[in-house]
Structure 1
Amino acid sequence: MRRYSEAVKADVRRRMSPPHRQSVARISEELGIHVITLYKWRKTWRLQGEVVPASEKEPEGWSPPASGKKSARSDPSTRGPNRRP
């Protein structure tokens, strides 16, 4: 197994963290580090209490469900005749 310096790991941690939020696939391509290795590092950092996002998406970009609309699960009119409430 190949060993990586702390400087390389610090660079990867920086790339994964905000504001960069690079994906594991992208970091793997750019640095030539296997994705499994990167996922293991990310898991280790999370267990140590560091915030390492799982994707490049910004939380502000996530859209909440539309207000006032019921999901098919909660709307009794969408249930079949043999379904219990």
Structure 2
Amino acid sequence: MQLMHLARDVKTAVELAIAAFAPGDLVDRLALAAGYLDAFATLDPEAPALLPVINRTMERADIALSTWRQWQKEHLPRAQA
């Protein structure tokens, strides 16, 4: 379940980062993580051989999301209520 939520969050972040003209390297990191997470959806996430790769990808996705959120705070205006 955690993998699916992370995949959804990263995919959304890629779309938002592209629309916000975020730096290419940030978009690339998000897109790479999204691609891997999407591929894992078709595989058995409990397969012993995949666990290290999935864990490493999830860590990278978390870092990319954190970087995106920081960039978003620094560069995008907040909506006025």
Q: TM-score surpassing 0.5?
A: no
- TM-score range (shorter-chain normalised) is under 0.3
TM-score (norm 2): 0.27
Higher RCO structure (Cα 8 Å, ≥6 apart)? 2
Q: Which has the larger radius of gyration?
A: 1
TM-score (norm 1): 0.26
